[in-house]
Copies of this chain bind each other. A is one copy, B any other.
Amino acid sequence: MQLEAATIDIGTSRPLVLLHSNDAGELGAHPLDRVRIDHDEGTTTGIVKRTDELVNPGTVGVTEPLHHIHGVVGVTLAGTPQSVRYVRKKLDDIELEAHELEAIVTDIHENRLSDIELSAYVSAVYTNGLSLEETKHLTEAMSGVGQQLRWESPVVADKHSIGGVAGNCVTPILVAIVAEAGLTMPKTSSRAVTSPAGTADVMEVFCDVEFAMADIESIVDETNGCLVWGGGVDLSPVDDEIIRAEYPLSVDPTGQLIASVLSKKRSAGSSHVVIDIPYGEGAKVESLVAARELADDFKRVGVYLEMDIACAITHGTDPVGRGVGPVLEARDVLAVLEGAEDAPESLRVKSVRLADMLLEHCGVDASAADILNSGRALERFRRIITAQNGDPSVESSDLEPGTESATVRASRAGIATRVDNRQLCDLARRAGAPLDVCAGLVIHQTVGNEIALEEPLYTIYAETTTKLEEAKTLADRLEPIRVRSKADALVERR
A435 sits at the interface (CB 8 A): yes
Q: Determine the chain B residues whose CB is within 8 A of the CB of A194 once the complex forms.
A: 30
**Complexed CA–CA distance, A9 and B55 (Å):** 12
Choice from B11, B28, B31, B32 contacting A49 with Cβ under 8 Å: B11
Q: Which 6 A-B pairs rank lowest in CB-CB distance, beginning with the nearest?
A: A119-B119, A123-B123, A115-B115, A10-B10, A116-B119, A11-B51
Bound Cα distance A115, B49 (Å): 13
In the complex, residue of chain B having the shortest beta-carbon distance to the beta carbon of A122: B120
Given contacts A80-B248, A120-B120, 10 further A-B contacts (CB under 8 A): A11-B51, A28-B430, A32-B248, A84-B248, A87-B249, A91-B249, A93-B127, A115-B116, A119-B120, A124-B127
CB distance from A188 to the nearest CB of B (A): 21
- 0 or 1 for each of A182-199: is its CB under 8 Å from B? (1 = yes): 000000000001100000
Is the CB–CB distance between B33 and A248 below 8 Å? yes
- Interface residue ranges, A against B (CB under 8 Å): 9-11, 18, 25-26, 28, 30-33, 49, 51, 53-54, 80, 84, 87-88, 91-93, 114-120, 122-124, 126-128, 193-194, 244-245, 247-251, 429-430, 435
* Residues on B with beta carbons closer than 8 Å to the beta carbon of A28: 429-430
B249 touches A84 (CB 8 A): yes
The distance from the CB of A212 to the nearest CB of chain B, in whole angstroms, is: 22
Find chain B residues with CB under 8 A from A124 CB. Answer: 123, 127
Contact B247 A92 (CB under 8 A): no
Residues of B within 8 A of A123 (CB): 91, 119-120, 123-124, 127
Are B245 and A116 closer than 8 Å at their CB atoms?
Answer: yes
Q: A53 and B9: CB pair below 8 A? A: yes
Whether B116 lies near A248 (C-beta < 8 A) is yes
Q: Which of B91, B122, B248, B429 contacts A126 (CB 8 A)?
A: B91
Q: Is the CB of A9 within 8 A of B54?
A: yes
Q: Which chain B residue shows the least CB distance to A426?
A: B28
- By a CB distance below 8 angstroms, the chain B residues around A31 are 244
A193 CA to B127 CA, complexed, in Å: 30
A435 partner residues in chain B, CB cutoff 8 A? 25-26
For the complex, what is the distance from the CA of A63 to the CA of B248, rounded to whole Å?
20
Rounded to whole Å, the gap between the CB of A185 and the closest CB of chain B is 30
Q: A127 — which chain B residues lie within 8 A by C-beta?
A: 91-93, 123-124, 127-128
B residues less than 8 Å from A248 (CB atoms): 32-33, 80, 84, 114, 116-117
- Most chain B CB neighbours (cut-off 10 Å) among A33, A87, A93, A126: A126
Q: List 16 A-B contacts (CB under 8 A).
A: A9-B53, A9-B54, A11-B49, A25-B435, A31-B244, A32-B244, A80-B250, A114-B248, A115-B115, A116-B118, A116-B122, A116-B245, A116-B249, A120-B120, A124-B127, A127-B127
B251 touches A91 (CB 8 A): yes
Bound complex: CA A127 to CA B128 (Å): 8
Smallest Cβ-Cβ distance to A30: which chain B residue: B247
CB pair B88 A120 closer than 8 Å:
no
Q: How far is the CB of A203 from chain B (nearest CB, A)?
A: 18
Residues of B contacting A9 with CB < 8 Å?
Answer: 53-54
* A115 and B126 contact, Cβ closer than 8 Å, known pairs A54-B11, A248-B84, A249-B87: no
Most buried by B among A54, A123, A251: A123
Whether A114 pairs with B115 at a CB distance below 8 angstroms is yes
B119 touches A117 (CB 8 A): yes
